[in-house]
Amino acid sequence: MDLGLRDKVAVITGGSTGIGLAIAQRLAAEGAHVVLAARHADRVREAQLLVSSKHGVRALGVECDVATVEGVDTLVSSARREFGGANILINNAGTGSNETIMDAPDDKWLYYWDIHVMAAVRLARGFVPQMRERGGGVILHNASICAAQPLWYEPIYNVTKAALVMFSKNLANEVIKDNIRVNAVNPGLTKTPDWIKTAKELTADRGGDWEAYLTEVATEHAPIGRFASAEELADFFVFLCSERASYSVGSTYFVDGGMLKTL
């Protein structure tokens, strides 16, 4: 199926690993050019070379921290300079948390607010004008099932991801008149490097069987009985980027293996 993405320019934050890199690869396989944003120069450079050499598209790696105003400005100006702007923005950068509400300091709350919410706000302000110039575009927010079904140990993550979903809905209503479609995705358990790292840490003192630990987590939480691969999530994102999803506006999609326990 031709998704009509050839020669589109897609910006992916958190693009050097995990779901972000998988989305970049899937978009590149469709012929889209990609701008990969990440904080670590070596990793984003490796991702850039991987995508461009494997798929024969133009790829740009941008070292920046989108949790900051300066990082957002760097990313927006880089896309403008190298490609003349962007057609697609994937807000994927983020990370889990671990705290209690009573013990978490203000600066931790503010950091997660910046990375999960204000990054999306600032990037919208930066890229929507570029999309208008190109006749429209797509913005997707990688949120989490925790936006609707919280996990007890990460209240800051839960709250900020819920706010991201609400921002996505409001932005969708505001920019659809410019032919810019905005949606959010709430993934469930996805086997990312962060999950693998956590599993290895938690099993280090009992044999290091991290794969068995992940199986236990999946069995407990997801009726499908396993974690998703990053590529499975990426396929859904790429579909939403395409004109095949042209009537999808302001929605939030659960891709969670049945993990959500409500309607």
> Cα–Cα distance between 154 and 38 in angstroms, integer?
23
In DSSP notation, 152-220 reads: TT-HHHHHHHHHHHHHHHHHHHHHGGGTEEEEEEEE-SB--HHHHHHHHHHHGGGT--HHHHHHHHHHH
Please give the share of the chain, as a percent, with pLDDT higher than 90.
Answer: 94
Write the CA distances from 54 to 24, 45, 51, 96, 198, integer angstroms: 12, 14, 5, 30, 30
Predicted confidence (pLDDT) per residue in 50-101, tens digit: 999 999 999 999 999 999 999 999 999 999 999 999 999 999 999 999 999 9
pLDDT tier at 184, thresholds 50, 70, 90: very high
> Cα–Cα distance between 39 and 67 in angstroms, integer?
10
Q: Above 90 in pLDDT, residue 4?
A: yes
pLDDT tier at 198, thresholds 50, 70, 90: confident
Average pLDDT, whole number, for the chain? 97
pTM of the entire predicted model: 0.97
Q: Above 90 in pLDDT, residue 243?
A: yes
Q: Above 90 in pLDDT, residue 1?
A: no
pLDDT of residue 141: 99
pLDDT of residue 163: 99
pLDDT of residue 206: 85
How many angstroms from the chain centroid is the CA of residue 91? 5
Q: Which residues are catalytic?
A: 157
CATH topology of domain 9-188+229-251: Rossmann fold (3.40.50)
pLDDT tier at 173, thresholds 50, 70, 90: very high
pLDDT of residue 107: 98
pLDDT tier at 137, thresholds 50, 70, 90: very high
Sequence spans of domains, the chain: 9-188+229-251, 190-227
pLDDT tier at 223, thresholds 50, 70, 90: very high
Rounded mean pLDDT, 23-33 = 98
